[in-house]
Chain A
Amino acid sequence: MPPKINAPFVEKVLVRFIRDELGKCGCKKGILGLSGGLDSAVCATLSARALGPSNVLALIMPYGKAFPEDVRDAENLARRLGIRHETIDIAAPIDAYFAAYPTRSRVQRGNKMARERMSVLYDHSAREGGFVLGTSNKTELLIGYGTIHGDMACAINPMGDLYKTQVRELAAHLRVPAAIRRKSPTAGLWPGQTDEAEIGLAYEELDDILFGLVEERKRRKEIVEAGHRPAAVDRVVRMIRNSEFKRKLPTIAKLSLRSVGHDFLYPYDWGK
């Protein structure tokens, strides 16, 4: 299992990270999508502490009347944190698109919605002069459980090195309301969807396997010997391998001596 985190220390590091990364770019404001789920609630709380509540804008972006409880939880959290928030219904552009290009695929519809939300966030980033803060956790990033150019898109991601089970620990320390902490995690792609049903593993089991593979660099065999179902381990290994493209910029065909993405190597914080 990933080790228990010292949550107050993690809060300290992440608050500094958010403040520092934005400050270096001469930016005071952070923008994030607030879904009513755990990860974005934690990110909103950290951002409010790092930047001050008035410098955080939360966009709540439901598709029509779907998930009314999540919208209510998100709005309540934003009010509780004192951050600015706005609820924007994304049904009109989504419906217009699928009227022209119908599909029966729930995943395709869900991905399209995730990218619509990204598009709204980035437009508000330009309007506000603020940075889009990412809410993907380490578990999701490792298995690729996210929409590329959708919910994975952001300027900086404070949560990307915390497993889901560790995000829960941090959420408890940050006093994220129980209504949010007790929910079954869901990507919200369709009503009734839960992450754990779709991934086919409970987060505790998933994080245990991931921690073994990633941090401890164990082989498949050792993880199975430690008591995990071979099929579950294989599934996790496959998900990690098949999603590497989501964790990288697009591969560039190398032609010259010095190429972007290969040997044109500069820090993100260049001159900052």
Chain B
Amino acid sequence: MKVVLAQVSPRLGDVEANVELHLDILARARRAKADLVVFPELGLTGYTLKDLVEEVALDPDSDPLFRKITARTRGLAAVVGFVEERPSEKGLFYNSAAFIADGRLLHVHRKVYLPTNGMFEEAKFFAPGRDLRTFETPFGRVGLLICRDFLHYGASYVHYSSGADMIICISAAPGRGVGGGDAFETSRMWELMGEAMSYFSTAFVLYANRVGIEDGVTFAGGSFVFAPGGRLAGRAAYLDPELFVRRIDLAAVREARKKWLFKRDEKPEVILRSLERAIRAAED
């Protein structure tokens, strides 16, 4: 299958402009015969929203702009980052990722870990997601994560234990640290996790990060695909926009699991029991 990581720079607070950007990329992806397009975190809104959160929030099932995107996925799939507000939960805003395939919304993941320290203030403006689950897609089982979710390795473990063939992380990761090579030092952190998670969960890891600058903060780019077994299938440019296209073969999951028996020998029930004990102990 052919995947596209859409390493773009959305316009801050302008959903209409960003929907156009998404539609344009979907059209290009279709022409390139892509199967899956992954857009970055909050790609429909921009990242540094602050009080704009409530103005750009939408319900993916009924919002006409969002439905335009859904309609445009006939014959392909997309992961789209947006601010979610459901009619049943008015006033609760989530930093969410939707998986859409062939004109249908298959799954919405709400960011669980909202960074709120230093330059980050997500929990001031968003409600936290409370669930991690995988779901069936035309390309096997997928688990979605959003940015900081991925740096909490337990989240990838849950997806792995829930049968994910592919962990997809969408991101708006700012670059920090300029003492290294030709990238921000923090880019290494994401690549290290991507390599480790793809290695030990013998699954694909797709990481789509954004580029551009908001309020002086530069988003680092460097989106990547790791194949099962920690093999880097390719990385997009740092800093600059790119439609990063890679062909991947899902058979690689089985190939890796023939060689590395982590999946067969995994014992989630032991982990669960031990975790429950650890949580009880922490509460005492």
Q: Which residues of A contact B179 (CB under 8 A)?
A: 3-6
Residues from chain A with a CB closer than 8 A to the CB of B52 are 266-267, 270
> Which of chain A's residues have a CB closer than 8 A to the CB of B87?
none
**Given A265-B51, A267-B49, A9 and B182 touching (CB < 8 A)?**
yes
Query: Given the complex of chains A and B, what is the CA–CA distance between A268 and B46 in angstroms?
Result: 13
A149 at the interface (CB under 8 A from B): no
Query: How far apart are A210's CB and chain B's nearest CB, in angstroms?
Result: 16
Question: CB of B281 within 8 A of chain A?
Answer: no
**Chain A: interface residue total (CB-CB under 8 A):** 23
Segment of A12-20, A96-104, A196-204 in the binding face: A12-20
Cβ-neighbour of B12 out of A8, A9, A272 (below 8 A): A272
**Is B13 in contact with A267, judged by CB distance below 8 angstroms?**
yes
- Known contacts A13-B218, A17-B216; is-contact A266 B50 (Cβ 8 Å): yes
Report the count of interface residues on B (CB-CB < 8 A): 23
Interface residues of B in 210-237 (CB under 8 A from A): 212-216, 218
Q: Which residue of B lies closest to A8 (CB)?
A: B182
Best-buried of B11, B183, B216 by chain A (most CB within 10 Å):
B216
Check A6 against B178 for contact (C-beta < 8 Å): yes
| Chain A positions within 8 Å of B14 at CB level | 271
Instruction: Mark each residue of chain A from 1 to 31: 1 if its CB lies under 8 Å from any CB of chain B, else 0.
Output: 0011110111011001100110000000000
How far is A265 from B54 in the complex, measured between Cα atoms in Å?
Answer: 12
The count of A-to-B residue pairs whose CB atoms sit within 8 angstroms is 62
> Is the beta-carbon distance between B215 and A16 smaller than 8 angstroms?
no
A272 x B183 contact (CB < 8 A): no
Nearest CB to that of B125 among chain A residues? A265
Partner of A267 from B181, B214, B218 at Cβ < 8 Å: B214
Residues of B close to A6: CB separation below 8 A = 178-182
The yes or no answer to A269 lying at the interface (CB within 8 A) is: yes
Task: Give the chain A neighbours of B181 by CB distance below 8 A.
Answer: 6, 9
0/1 string, A83-102, CB within 8 A of B gives 1: 00000000000000000000
Q: Which residue of A lies closest to B182 (CB)?
A: A9
Residue of B with least CB distance to A258: B51
Measured CA separation A161–B166 after assembly (Å):
38
Interface pair A268/B11, CB less than 8 Å apart: no
Other-chain contact of B212, A20, A156, A268 (Cβ < 8 Å): A20
- For B180, give the chain A residue with the smallest CB separation: A6
**B interface footprint on A229-272 (CB within 8 Å = 1, 0 otherwise):** 00000000000000000000000000000000000111111111
**Contact code string B172-184 (vs A, CB < 8 Å = 1, else 0):** 0001001111110
In chain A between 206 and 228, which residues have their CB closer than 8 angstroms to a CB of chain B? Answer: none
Cβ–Cβ contact A16 & B218, under 8 A: yes
Judged by a CB distance under 8 angstroms, whether B144 is at the interface is no
With a CB–CB cut-off of 8 A, which chain B residues contact A16?
213, 218, 239
Min CB gap B178→A, angstroms:
5
Does A271 contact B216, Cβ atoms closer than 8 Å? Answer: no
Q: How far is the CA of A267 from the CA of B215 in the complex (A)?
A: 7
Specify which of B51, B178, B180, B183 is in contact with A266 (CB 8 Å cutoff): B51
B contact residues around A17 at 8 Å (CB): 213, 216, 218
Measured in the bound complex, the distance between the Cα atoms of B178 and A132 in whole Å is 25
C-alpha gap A34/B14 in the complex (Å): 37
Question: With the chains together, A5 CA to B185 CA distance in Å?
Answer: 11
Known: A16-B239, A20-B213. A267 touches B48 (CB 8 A): yes
In whole angstroms, how far apart are the Cα atoms of A38 and B159 in the complex?
53
Chain B residue numbers with a CB within 8 Å of A13 are: 175, 178, 218, 239
Contacts of B182 in A (CB 8 A): 6, 8-9
Q: Which residues of A contact B239 (CB under 8 A)?
A: 12-13, 16
Bound CA span A8–B151, Å: 29
Interchain CA distance A12-B181 in the complex, whole Å: 12
A16 to B214 Cα, complex, angstroms: 12
- Contact string against A for B residues 199-218, beta-carbon threshold 8 Å, 1 for contact and 0 otherwise: 00000000000001111101
* B51 to A, closest residue via Cβ: A265
Closest A residue, CB atoms, query B181? A6
* Chain A, residue nearest B214 (CB): A269
A270 and B13 alpha carbons, distance in the complex (Å): 6
Q: Is the CB of B11 within 8 A of A272?
A: yes
Q: Bound state CA distance, A227 and B181, in angstroms?
A: 30
5 other contacts beyond A9-B181, A270-B52, with CB at 8 A cut-off? Answer: A5-B178, A9-B182, A16-B239, A267-B214, A269-B214
A-B contact pairs, 15 of them (CB 8 A): A9-B178, A9-B182, A13-B218, A17-B216, A17-B218, A20-B213, A21-B213, A264-B51, A266-B51, A267-B49, A269-B12, A269-B214, A270-B13, A270-B52, A271-B12
> Top 3 closest A-B pairs, CB basis?
A3-B179, A265-B50, A267-B48
